[in-house]
Chain A
Amino acid sequence: MGVKKILDSNQAVLLIVPSTDYNKVMIDTLKELSGESICYVTLNKTYDGFVETCKKNKIKMDKIGFIDAISKSFKKSPTDSENVYYISSPGALTELSLVIGKFLEHDFKYFVFDSITNLGIYHKQDICSKFSSSLVNKIKGKQTKAVFYAIGSRDDSLVKQVGMFVDEVVDYNKSGKKE
């Protein structure tokens, strides 16, 4: 079953993806959801990297609003574009939360958070957990359907915690198949 189908009956899903399959799953999911409006939050790829991936995979970007929490950390002047907002650093959680709130006011059909695992690189687990819980609650007050990525396995304690906040957990481990 595709992610879109899963989102038909759930508002927030957590996709647990092994690092080796992450790129493929990310592209396949984006292909599936593209065409509808998407708010895409990234902590692991730059806007330019995202654009390059979309072009390579013929994914339409006109309805994607992008929140890039990475580029400003290592680039002095990130590419200016009207569909991207740059967060000052992945450590700026309040800023990230406020910007996501603003984006969500635009009633995107889908919201993608990529990823919980990368958030865990920059913040302690309890902070990530609280942030994720508040984010899911924010989404629950909207019509927007949300996809959260976790890279690795479901044994990770942060993944376990976030799994409790969402409606459905989909595990791509074990031969790249969803469990």
Chain B
Amino acid sequence: MVKTIMIVDDEPDIRSSVKTILEKEGYKVVSATNADDALKKLATIKPNLILLDIMMPGTPVREAVPKMKGVKIAYLSVVRTSEAEKEELTKSKNIVGFIQKPFEIKTLIQNVKKLVG
């Protein structure tokens, strides 16, 4: 069965490149422009993984994540944090990964495969 990935990022370039890369790997990819858009779409779609940009306009990610129950989430972050902050950010049980931007195509594919198969 085809796995669905939701990419949530306010940067159109990131959304389109992630979509192209992951579709080439056989995943179905759904895009959302921010956390609010993602929450709206999650009412009808249940992705296997959400790739969630950590800093976007609209509802802050730390407020949106608790509402994204039952879905695995990997953060995408352009912000460089300390190791302790990274641990703090990923302590919710549905946060399964942290991908630092900019990332290489290979790294993205490896991470997604590791997280959803």
Q: Which residues of A contact B (CB under 8 A)?
A: 19-20, 44-46, 48-49, 51-53, 70, 73-76, 90-91, 118, 121-122
Least CB distance from A89 to B in Å reads: 9
A-side contacts of B85, CB under 8 Å:
46, 48-49, 75
| Residues of chain A contacted by B78 (CB below 8 angstroms) | 44, 118, 121
Rounded to whole Å, the gap between the CB of B58 and the closest CB of chain A is: 11
Does the CB pair B62–A44 fall under 8 Å?
no
Determine the distance from Cα of A122 to Cα of B82 in the docked complex, in whole angstroms. 22
Measured between C-beta atoms, what is the minimum distance from A154 to chain B in Å? 18
Of the residues B57, B61, B102, contact of A74 by C-beta under 8 Å: B61
Q: B108 to chain A: closest CB distance in Å? A: 15
User: What are the interface flags for B68-91 relative to A under an 8 Å C-beta threshold, 1 for contact and 0 otherwise?
Assistant: 000000000011111111001100
How many A-B residue pairs have C-beta atoms within 8 angstroms? Tell me: 49
Instruction: Kindly list chain B residues whose C-beta atoms are within 8 Å of the C-beta of A19.
Output: 102
Given A74-B60, A75-B62, 7 new contacts (CB under 8 A): A19-B102, A45-B80, A46-B82, A48-B85, A53-B80, A76-B62, A121-B11
What are 29 inter-chain pairs, A to B, with CB distance below 8 A?
A19-B102, A20-B102, A44-B78, A44-B79, A44-B80, A46-B79, A46-B80, A46-B82, A46-B85, A48-B81, A48-B85, A49-B79, A49-B80, A51-B82, A52-B82, A70-B55, A70-B79, A73-B55, A73-B60, A74-B54, A74-B62, A75-B85, A75-B88, A76-B62, A90-B55, A118-B78, A121-B11, A121-B78, A122-B57
